[in-house]
């Protein structure tokens, strides 16, 4: 158990809908990273927040957004969902050292 929690575990929705994925970091971790993992693309970095501020952006679509709240939990919002958005979404958190990331159990999103 990494100490990182993600909810929900599974999410099934329809195309065009909007969903919110939630991540709670390990105690004391200030950085939150979001990743998408699909069979054909592997693990892709989406976005990073550090202590409430956006720090880095990766391959994140404009339909996706994220935020980190004062209590350091983070949410990833996915809108106008398409079939191709079906994937595992992971968050990872890191402490001050910031070079070691600890992953949550993931949210499996299925878009029908």
Partner 1 sequence: TQLLEQSPQFLSIQEGENLTVYCNSSSVFSSLQWYRQEPGEGPVLLVTVVTGGEVKKLKRLTFQFGDARKDSSLHITAAQPGDTGLYLCAGAFSGSARQLTFGSGTQLTVLP
In angstroms, give the least distance from the CB of 50 to partner 1. Answer: 8
In angstroms, give the least distance from the CB of 95 to partner 1. Answer: 12
Task: Number of residues interacting with partner 1: please give it, by CB under 8 A.
Answer: 27
Q: Which residues 26-55 are close enough to bind partner 1 by CB under 8 A? A: 31, 33, 42-45, 48, 50, 55
Determine if 68 is a binding residue for partner 1 (CB under 8 A). Answer: no
Q: With CA atoms as reference, report the closest residue to 93 among 35, 44, 12, 43.
A: 35
Residue 14 in contact with residue 20, Cβ under 8 Å? Answer: no
| Chosen residue from 2, 15, 17, 80 binding partner 1 by CB under 8 A | 2
């Amino acid at each position: 158990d990494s100490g990182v929690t993600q909810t929900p575990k599974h999410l099934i929705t329809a195309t065009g809908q909007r969903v919110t994925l939630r991540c709670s970091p390990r105690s004391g971790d200030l950085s939150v990273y979001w990743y998408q993992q699909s069979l054909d693309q592997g693990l892709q970095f989406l976005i990073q927040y550090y202590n409430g501020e956006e720090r880095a952006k990766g391959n994140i679509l404009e339909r996706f957004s994220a935020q980190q709240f004062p209590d350091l939990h983070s949410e990833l919002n996915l809108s106008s969902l398409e079939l191709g958005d079906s994937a595992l979404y992971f968050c990872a958190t890191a402490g001050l050292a910031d070079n070691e990331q600890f992953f949550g159990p993931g949210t499996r999103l299925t878009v029908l």
